[in-house]
Amino acid sequence: MTAISTPSGIVRSLRPVQLALAISACLSVASVGVAQRDMSSVEMKAEHVAGKVHMITGAGGNIGVSAGDDGILFIDDQFAPLADKIRAAIKGIHAGDLEYLINTHFHGDHTGSNAIFGEDATIVAHENVRVRLSSPDNRGGAAPASALPVITFDDGLSIFFNGERVRVTHLPTGHTDGDSYIYFEDSKVAHLGDHFFVGRFPYVDVGNGGNAEGLRSNIEMLLKSLPAGTKIIPGHGPLADLGDLKEYFSMLNDTIGMVKQAKSAGKSLADVQKQGFGEKYKEWGSGFINSDAWTEIIFSSLN
């Protein structure tokens, strides 16, 4: 039996065979749960990262904010019941108008307030974010028009805002099939969305085009291309740097390698889960994705 804690705080005990379904349903549980969950106690905390860029944490994915003479460009918007608090937190940083909202990917804990902020800001995201949000198969049904990205791209684009180039670049076949990272060139800040869970095994949405090996390749590319001194806003967890990202990459290499080797030796998923990742990675499984869930994600990512 495996116990997982969902974002809505429900703890379920599951047999391994049920785990894949449960994990793919987690975000659905998150969106449904949030509608009923009392968010009144959630506090928004803003911190300055570097240059024009700030980070806001609350519940759900971390929010990045560029604030300056051109107004506000922000990245991701957590859950709809938090929209007023997010707006107030942004106002506390700068009084400018909301001009652009970039979605790192389509998951509900990163796009939950799109319908509200889409009335003010122009939403920008990878083409697959629009495809998935507008699909009737989207959790909770097709999103309303105001929640959809109005500028989409295949590989990437730049927005020149608050005196610097803001580069938005697609990360193929990683956490989902529609992820991007955002890099603020002069501030030297990157927002990596859910490609990066600091010090924790990541969730990879294999059912929506994600892949653990693809995620590892994307992190390898980022480690080669992000300049020294870059500060990193992760999808979940505290503000980080390239040292944290290197540690994360090393964990991805080790754990994916272990599962790959065991699978090619003919071991079953249950065998590999039983084997685990050892003491070294115990703490990494203490978050949303435990060791068994991460093993299953890797197992199902391997061809």
List contacts with Zn ion (CB under 5 A): 107, 194
Residue closer to Zn ion (CB basis): 52 or 132: 132
Rg for the chain, CA atoms, rounded: 19
- Dist CA 267 CA 265 (whole Å): 6
Q: How far is residue 256 from each of residues 173, 184, 219, 277, measured CA to CA in Å?
A: 16, 31, 13, 10
Q: Are 122 and 152 in contact (CB under 8 A)?
A: no
State in angstroms the smallest separation of the CB of 63 from Zn ion: 14
Q: Which is nearer to Zn ion, 194 or 292 (CB)?
A: 194
Q: What are phi and psi of 166, to 5 degrees?
A: -110, 110
Shortest gap between Cβ of 107 and Zn ion (angstroms)?
4
Q: Toward Zn ion, which CB reaches closer, 164 or 205?
A: 205
- In this complex, which beta carbon is closest to Zn ion, that of residue 23 or of residue 262? 23
For residues 164 and 194, which CB has a smaller minimum distance to Zn ion in the complex?
Answer: 194
Tokens 């590319």: give the residue: 221
User: Minimal distance in Å, beta carbon 165 to Zn ion?
Assistant: 26
Q: Of 103 and 169, which CB lies nearer to Zn ion in the complex structure?
A: 103
For the stretch 228-244, what's the b/e string if a residue is b when 16 or more beta carbons lie within 10 angstroms of its beta carbon? eebbbbbbbbebbebeb
Least distance to Zn ion, CB of residue 97, Å: 28
* Distance in Å, CB of 104 to Zn ion, minimum: 8
Least distance in angstroms from the C-beta of 180 to Zn ion: 12
Q: What is the dihedral of CA 266, 270, 276, 282, to 10 degrees?
A: 150
Edge to edge, what strands does the sheet with 240-241 contain?
156-161, 164-171, 179-184, 189-191, 231-233, 240-241
Report the residue number, 219 or 272, with the smaller CB distance to Zn ion.
Answer: 219
Q: How far apart are CA 191 and CA 168, in angstroms?
A: 10
